[in-house]
Amino acid sequence: PISFPPSPSSLSPSTAESSHSPSPLSHCTASQCLTGQTIQCLSPSNISDQDDLTCLNWLHQRGNLLPLQPIPKMTALPQLEASQPTQPLPPASSKPPYSFSSLIFMAIEDSPDKRLPVKDIYEWIVNNFPFYRTASGGWRNSVRHNLSLSKSFRRIQRDKSQCVGKGSLWCVCPEYQPALLEVLRKTHSYHSTNSNLINKPTPTCPLTPDHEELVTMESVDYQQEEVCEDMEKDPLSDSGYIELHYYQSQQYQYLVLPGDTELDLETVEILQLDAEAQEAAGSLLDLAGGGY
């Protein structure tokens, strides 16, 4: 059985104000959303064997990671080696690494009712992965092909009372949810560990405490039964408090999870999210907070 973190809309109001866009980042805590950039903190190595299916936070780690290293609280980010050759950022519209099954899964899970018509699945993919805005229409065929062929998805007849739109609604078969999650996790993990922030441009301005915010989040139990309506907890923390340090430069925003938190984290990850990942991560945070 799968249990999801509480609904993002019920997550903790942080100590800082956010200026995020209403969607898909509307659920983020303030430090996560300052300018729409979504941040993620937990590395797969920090997720217990069983918790990884109860928490989709890793999904947001679509940015490129620095080599993991402990960083004390409130310290400046490590300097990137100047000798490292700089390479242009991959285009934001590069093809996402996720299979169509994963994309469909994310789209459906990101929907309020956990069911979507094909048209809305298209729309979600386009909205979250700009690559498909300009891609030829063949991918839609692939989406339909996947829906039909994959056992993971089930077709539901529309309620006759809401005869708006063609076709049926599609949902995820609960028994295949763990498998889909695992595929997502592996895909994400693979692409995270194979990326290298060293190749990214150095921020143009120094990171100073002026751009730092501290957010404290309460612990949360992910069991569905435990989710309260007035929940003010965050899925990022599953035991005790965590402190998130937010850094912002003109070009990039970072969130640093200290290595000496009560979560017994071994490493710190600093994420830089490109525009595509920003969008996707926002929605995926919604997904992570799907609240079953």
Positions in the binding site for DNA (CB under 7 A): 98-101, 117-119, 122, 136, 138-142, 144-149, 155, 165-168, 170, 183
Cα separation, 97 vs 290, in Å, equals 22
CB atoms within 10 A of CB 72: 10
**For the chain, how big is the Rg over CA atoms in Å?**
19
Nearer to DNA, 180 or 271 (CB): 180
Answer whether 31's CB lies under 8 Å from 16's CB.
Answer: yes
**Which residues are registered as beta bridge partners of 217?**
242
Closest approach of DNA to the CB of residue 291, in Å: 26
Nearer to DNA, 136 or 250 (CB): 136
Cα separation, 147 vs 153, in Å, equals 6
Nearer to DNA, 58 or 170 (CB): 170
Nearer to DNA, 107 or 147 (CB): 147
Closest approach of DNA to the CB of residue 175, in Å: 15
Nearer to DNA, 73 or 140 (CB): 140
Closest approach of DNA to the CB of residue 183, in Å: 6
Q: What is the 3-state secondary structure (H, E, C) of 7-23?
A: CHHHCCCCCCCCCCCCC
Closest approach of DNA to the CB of residue 161, in Å: 13
CB atoms within 10 A of CB 179: 14
Nearer to DNA, 171 or 215 (CB): 171
Long-range contacts of 43-47 (CB under 8 A, 24+ apart): 43/68, 43/265, 43/267, 43/269, 44/185, 44/189, 44/192, 45/266, 45/267, 46/263, 46/265, 46/266, 46/267
Closest approach of DNA to the CB of residue 2, in Å: 19
Closest approach of DNA to the CB of residue 46, in Å: 23
3-state secondary structure of 182: helix
